[in-house]
Structure 1
Amino acid sequence: MKYLKEIITEKWGDILKFSCPVNSDEAFFDVDLIIHSDAVDINAEVIPHRHDFYQLIWCLEGEGVHILDFNKADIRGGRIFFCAPEQCHSAEGAIKIPKAYGIMFNDAFISELNPNFVYEIKYLFFRRYGRKQYLDISPECSKILMELVQLMLRECKNKDYYGHNGYCLHLLALFFINLKRFSLSDDPTDSESEENILIHHFVNLVENNYKYKCAVCDYARDLNCSESKLNRACQKVLHISPLKVINRRKLDEAKRMLSFSQEPIKDITFNLGFISQPHFVAFFKKQTGICPNEYRKREQGK
């Protein structure tokens, strides 16, 4: 099993990219305490970064704003943020780094859990659409989660223990079970209904294919359902159309490229699967109200 110190770091434009070791089939898990420091001035911002693994950030104290894929939420004690693979996040407006626990894992690590439970973890907590990507937890829930995190920290310091991987895996499972019990048990959209499962698979397909597929009919065919069924499920669960899900994913990536790199508009056009630069400019202007060049000047001039 791989750990935090072995993560590969690279830079794409102004975004730091943190990656598990090259072999994606190898389990990765780690937990770390992020402690604030008066010596570290982050009053402006924490540099935008992304990972190819899941990250859960449990804030114990702090202030400022957490930005996840251009969506902002206040940093405060008792708030847990959920960052799915390839999402970009950063922080701004903080006087010092908040005190928080970071829990990181990849698909290979949770693959030995029951498939239905893996679905719940990804769909209930790391869903990109139709839900705020944070939870505020009660003192009662915090007490239980703290005990589990302390066990994780102790276990990660002693990696040679017998059954270490399984021990960490089941601690993580208990963490999510308690999160659901205390924070999500009354939410009807969290059930394993046919619509929820369909949307879970649809969003995963979009994540893997948004650069190459933009037609709803293509996704409906891959999901072995009709366009009307996919549209009804999207409207019921996410309250937006399938096309808006696809377009939003393309738009988020376009915004990242324009905000954090000097990549030419022409290259961004073809990297995102548009047939020509005018098509990309028209798409971006329709979604945001301004042209890509204007957006880049505005964001990079901040």
Structure 2
Amino acid sequence: MESTIPVKNKISHADHIKAEPFRKEPRKTVPHKHKQYFEIIYLTEGSGEHWIDGVKYPIRPGVLFFISHDQVHNWDLHSEPEGFVLIFKNSFVEKSLDRELEMLLQRFSGTTCLQISEQAGIRRMFGLLAEENGGTSDMSVHIKEGLVKALLAKILDDPHFESRRPAVRTDLFHAFTDLLRTGHQAKMKVSHYAALLHTTPQNLNAACRKAAGLSATAVVAEFIMNEARRQLRYTNKTVSEVSLSLNFTDASHFVKFFKRMTGQTPQAYRAAQ
């Protein structure tokens, strides 16, 4: 086991979006994160398991996976896969003049795996994105934006789609979660993040309750717990080292926090994995 979680990068520095057929090899990968990008994977053939943050998802034709850069995942494929991978950075959405693209994307927050019922249209859209992947004309970026927007809307329109979060999102909440996910050292004090976002703790708390049904403190605690679980499961860091990486002043405080949130100590959690 490594001391840190490996980070893989499948998109060049100059590119903001990439779409391609799903690679057939390797069929088994080590747990890893992505380098600051969001990934949507659509599989039309194949079998096996896909592990995301320690949760096993079976692979069946017509499955979609949504993976953010802070999540850890790995594959254990039993048969040859077919499908597509769509990768895009925050910069792709930020550079878009169409704000509906961001609004559609935000509705997938909390969604990791989705088995869809209608496949023909979604497969065509992924195929068109893959065909346009190498496009460099002035119009290519607009074509890609339109196709991504249509793809997201098509997925959202599927009867099997169930968002884990309310559809309402605010710019403040989005900025807050981005701040947590971009490697900013975690702190439990909401006032710390409010100051960075040039707002008040009250405004930040209201934005979190509107968007996620949680207080700002609960959002931070959820983020810290997810990262703690990843490090305990996928690295050989000691509990003290995990505690330090998450900005706890004392390992005993981290142990108490972890036990309060999960009902078990970090050591017990690691032993059960």
2:7 to 14, 17, 25: 17
Aligned equivalents of 2:80, 2:59: Cα separation in 1: 10
1:151 to 1:260, Cα distance in 2 relative to 1, 3 A: same
CA offset digits 1:106-164 (Å, max 9, x no partner): 23344431262453254223x2xxx323344342xx333322322333344xx4x651x
The Cα shift of 1:273 comes to 0.6
CA offset digits 1:229-256 (Å, max 9, x no partner): 4334323432222212111211221222
TM-score normalised by structure 2 residue count: 0.79
2:52 to 56, 68, 74: 68
The Cα shift of 1:83 comes to 0.9
Aligned equivalents of 1:12, 1:118: Cα separation in 2: 37
CA offset digits 1:23-60 (Å, max 9, x no partner): 5xx224332323668xx775xxx432210122111121
Aligned equivalents of 1:170, 1:258: Cα separation in 2: 42
1:199 aligns with 2:173: yes
The Cα shift of 1:201 comes to 1.8
1:56 aligns with 2:40: yes
What is the SS of the residue equivalent to 2:247? coil
What is the SS of the residue equivalent to 1:190? coil
Any conservation in 1 of the 2:41–2:84 contact (CA below 8 Å)?
Answer: yes
Aligned equivalents of 1:181, 1:220: Cα separation in 2: 36
Aligned equivalents of 2:136, 2:75: Cα separation in 1: 39
Aligned equivalents of 1:240, 1:73: Cα separation in 2: 26
1:137 to 1:284, Cα distance in 2 relative to 1, 3 A: same
1:293 to 1:22, Cα distance in 2 relative to 1, 3 A: farther
Higher relative contact order (Cα pairs below 8 Å, separated by 6+ residues): 2
Any conservation in 2 of the 1:189–1:196 contact (CA below 8 Å)?
Answer: no
User: What is the percent sequence identity of the aligned residues?
Assistant: 23
1:96 maps to 79
What is the SS of the residue equivalent to 1:66? strand
Any conservation in 1 of the 2:231–2:237 contact (CA below 8 Å)?
Answer: yes
1:114 maps to 97
Aligned equivalents of 1:97, 1:47: Cα separation in 2: 18
How many residues align? The count is 268
2:113 maps to 134
1:154 maps to 131
1:189 to 1:256, Cα distance in 2 relative to 1, 3 A: closer
The Cα shift of 1:215 comes to 0.8
Any conservation in 2 of the 1:58–1:80 contact (CA below 8 Å)?
Answer: yes
The Cα shift of 1:12 comes to 5.0
TM-score normalised by structure 1 residue count: 0.73
Aligned equivalents of 1:172, 1:68: Cα separation in 2: 27
2:19 maps to 31
Alignment of 1:1-302 (within 5 A): 12-13=2-3, 15-19=5-9, 23=13, 26-34=14-22, 46-52=29-35, 53-91=37-75, 95-96=78-79, 98-114=81-97, 116-120=99-103, 122-125=105-108, 127=109, 131-139=110-118, 142-156=119-133, 159=134, 163=137, 166-167=139-140, 170-181=143-154, 183-184=156-157, 189-191=166-168, 196-208=170-182, 211-299=185-273
Aligned equivalents of 1:54, 1:154: Cα separation in 2: 20
Any conservation in 2 of the 1:210–1:249 contact (CA below 8 Å)?
Answer: no
What is the SS of the residue equivalent to 1:30? strand
Letter in 2 for 1:123: Q
Aligned equivalents of 1:78, 1:72: Cα separation in 2: 17
1:234 to 1:27, Cα distance in 2 relative to 1, 3 A: same
Any conservation in 2 of the 1:48–1:88 contact (CA below 8 Å)?
Answer: yes
What is the SS of the residue equivalent to 1:32? strand
1:175 to 1:21, Cα distance in 2 relative to 1, 3 A: closer
Any conservation in 1 of the 2:51–2:74 contact (CA below 8 Å)?
Answer: yes
